[in-house]
A and B are shown apart, each in its own frame.
Chain A
Amino acid sequence: MNLAAHAPILAVAVPLLGAFALPLWAKLRPSLRDLWLVLVAGATAALTVLVAVQVYTVGIQVYTLGGAWPLDTLAPGGFPIRIVLAVDALSAFMGLITALVAVVGFAYAWRYLVEDEGKTLALTLGTLLWAGMLGMAFTGDLFNLFVFFEVTSIAACGLVGYRTWASRGPEAAFKTMVMYTVGGLFVLLAIALLYGEYGALNLAYLARQITGSVVDRIALALLLGGLLMKAGAVPLHMWAPDAYGEAPAQAVILLVANTQISLYALFRVLFTLYGGVADPAIGWLVVALGTLTLLVAALMAVVQMDLGRLVAFGAVSQIGYMLLGVGVGLTAIAARPAYGLVAIQGGIFHMLNDAVAIGLLFLAVGAVEKAAGNRNLANLGGLGHDLTWTTGFFLLGSLALAGIPPLNGFASKLMIYQSSFLLSPILSALAILASILLLAVFVKAFQGAFLGPKLSQPKPVPVPMLVAMGVLALGVLALGLFPELVVRHLVAPAADALWTGRDLYLRAVLGR
């Protein structure tokens, strides 16, 4: 078997099937389940990297299910009726982000989750969520985008409501489930409209057919509503702080990656599916919602006293920066000025930076909760005396998220500030103001929780949790110190996939 040719489907199938086998192994022995998880996670991460290497070195990877050959995207008659995976540089980039957070999350969960509290369930749902995210990133047709959208929704809601013994977890899961369901129905209705109009679900085929008719526009509005909701854009974000605040820490970093995958789907719809009938007004809508998101979430973070919810609002705020960056590029897609490409690069680079920095913060909050027994800033203090490593990790993540140089958040934010300034200086000023607010928020949180006299004796943080946080901390430093390498080799090809890669994508799938 040519592993490289089949890698795109294996990267989705291995975690999907592996997840369902986890409870069976757990019935025999929990250590067998852990071993199986290591194998599944290792294989999935390796396959994701293999796909990315193929995409970055050879070009777009297309895989057809049910065909005699993976490249047979068209049925006899020249119609793309089969299920197709199409992985370009942006899809591969998103796959790498999910692999990073999933592997780190599982390593952290090893000693963070308690066996008697449904550890097997959390690991199963986490693996399913990873499979769903990879499916959303790699799929080349709209219906499977919806299917994987639902897979991620179900797994995410299960993880949010994981703490069934507390009332807030199931309540947050219920709210998230309602929002995901309504948003998912919007997406499904949009797909039905496009299918009714063109009789196809293949993304590349539809992209070539779409003319900007009234039905096309209605479908676009529905897709915007559903995907912006799942990405957590203000004012559709309100489920996010509830969900992030209640889910266990290793699940929250997967939920953050899940919102980024929804952003990816939004960008795929706007740049690839509707790229032929691009409308600057949509770009301005994305810019407006991005600016609103970064500012409102930062303001809400200022008054939070629960460390988990405080970081959750910080995470929502970062979605605003990504929307702003890519939205600026979308407004300028017709004229293609240089700043448009820089804006998209900044937005995409910020996805990686956010996954690493906010992931580090959520894991540190989980460590604080496990060690001190609560997350209320009014009751915490002096944890730095005992939790030295966790203190350092929280500080590093806070500074990175606030965009303090030379850490990783700074480089991507600088690209977004400069490019959005050229569209409108007000956008840039508001983005900088939100960063200042976040700095104040995290200084407050750090001082309140970690500095000052010792108020209680926290339990030690298990070593695997420290190692997982350490990996992300190294990521914060590496991405911060070598941003040019990352942008040149990983981010620029992903941004080009949106900026100029539409025709290449259509040709790769349709073959003409």
Chain B
Amino acid sequence: MTLLTGHGFWNPLLWLAAAAGVTLLALVVWSRGRRDYTRGTDRELPFLSGEKMEGAHVGGGHLYWGFVEGLRPYVERLRALHSGLVNDYVGWLVVILAVAFLIVLVGG
């Protein structure tokens, strides 16, 4: 059942056993928490930026906003290359063909 990966191994069943152990530990810690918690009260409502907003939804465009913004300078350059113009698509094919020619004729 153990997959040898060259310099290591991977056994999902061992991993599952370890995960079960960690889950058990987490349950033990959780079981020792406060017992005066009550469901269905205000403490379960989302609380965003100081405003109590019932039914608020963080849309897909807002999640990881900082992460996406951090990557934006790189991504915008890539996005510019994805022009949607088939001429550009074929142009890239010619570029890669030129690189391949260079490698097989000069490098090889």
Chain A residues near B (Cβ < 8 Å): 174-175, 178-179, 182-183, 186, 212, 214, 217-218, 220-222, 224-225, 228-229, 235-236, 238-239, 241-242, 279, 281-282, 285, 289, 296, 299-300, 302-303, 305, 338-339, 342, 346, 377-378, 380-382, 405-406, 410-411, 414-415, 418-419, 421-422, 440, 443-445, 447-449, 452-453, 455, 480-485, 487
Partner of A221, one of B68, B71, B100: B100
Q: Which chain A residue lies CB-closest to B11?
A: A484
Q: Which chain A residue lies CB-closest to B16?
A: A406
Does the CB pair B59–A218 fall under 8 Å?
no
Complex contacts, A481 vs chain B, CB 8 Å: 12-13, 16
Partner of B56, one of A299, A305, A453: A453
Does the CB pair A225–B100 fall under 8 Å?
yes
Does the CB pair A414–B90 fall under 8 Å?
no
Complex contacts, A241 vs chain B, CB 8 Å: 82
Partner of B89, one of A239, A302, A480: A239
Does the CB pair B72–A303 fall under 8 Å?
yes
Complex contacts, A452 vs chain B, CB 8 Å: 56-58
Q: Which chain A residue lies CB-closest to B68?
A: A302
Q: Which chain B residue lies CB-closest to A219?
A: B104
Cα separation A214 to B108 with both chains bound (whole Å)? 10
Does the CB pair B1–A453 fall under 8 Å?
no
Does the CB pair B58–A236 fall under 8 Å?
no
Does the CB pair B104–A483 fall under 8 Å?
no
Apart from A225-B93, A414-B10, A484-B1, 15 more pairs, CB < 8 Å? A178-B86, A178-B89, A222-B97, A229-B96, A238-B81, A242-B84, A282-B108, A303-B68, A346-B5, A378-B61, A411-B10, A415-B5, A440-B64, A453-B56, A482-B1
With A238-B89, A281-B108, A418-B7 as given contacts, are A377 and B59 in contact (CB-CB < 8 Å)? Answer: yes
Complex contacts, A281 vs chain B, CB 8 Å: 103-104, 107-108
Question: Could you name 13 residue pairs across A and B whose Cβ atoms are closer than 8 Å?
Answer: A178-B86, A218-B101, A220-B104, A225-B96, A228-B96, A236-B92, A279-B107, A282-B104, A377-B60, A381-B59, A419-B6, A483-B10, A487-B3
**Closest Cβ–Cβ distance, residue B102 to chain A (whole Å):** 9
Q: Which of B16, B71, B93 has the most CB of A within 10 A?
A: B93
Cα separation A299 to B76 with both chains bound (whole Å)? 10
**Closest Cβ–Cβ distance, residue B14 to chain A (whole Å):** 9
Complex contacts, B33 vs chain A, CB 8 Å: none
Q: Does B40 contact A (CB under 8 A)?
A: no
Q: How many A-B residue pairs have CB under 8 A?
A: 173
Cα separation A378 to B71 with both chains bound (whole Å)? 20
**Closest Cβ–Cβ distance, residue B36 to chain A (whole Å):** 27
With A182-B93, A225-B93 as given contacts, are A303 and B12 in contact (CB-CB < 8 Å)? Answer: no
**Closest Cβ–Cβ distance, residue A368 to chain B (whole Å):** 12
Complex contacts, B99 vs chain A, CB 8 Å: 285
Q: Which chain B residue lies CB-closest to A183?
A: B93
Complex contacts, B2 vs chain A, CB 8 Å: 484
Those 4 A-B pairs whose CB atoms lie nearest each other, nearest first: A448-B60, A377-B60, A452-B57, A406-B12
Q: Does B26 contact A (CB under 8 A)?
A: no
Q: Which of B2, B67, B82, B84 has the most CB of A within 10 A?
A: B82
Cα separation A175 to B61 with both chains bound (whole Å)? 28
Cα separation A405 to B11 with both chains bound (whole Å)? 10
Does the CB pair B96–A380 fall under 8 Å?
no
Partner of A422, one of B7, B60, B82, B107: B7
- The contact string, 1 if C-beta is below 8 Å from chain A, for chain B 64-96, is 100110011011001101101010111011011
Partner of B97, one of A186, A305, A445: A186
Does the CB pair A179–B90 fall under 8 Å?
yes
**Closest Cβ–Cβ distance, residue A225 to chain B (whole Å):** 4
Cα separation A92 to B100 with both chains bound (whole Å)? 29
Q: Which of A183, A217, A445, A480 has the most CB of B within 10 A?
A: A217
Does the CB pair A217–B105 fall under 8 Å?
yes
Partner of B75, one of A279, A302, A485: A302
Complex contacts, B50 vs chain A, CB 8 Å: none
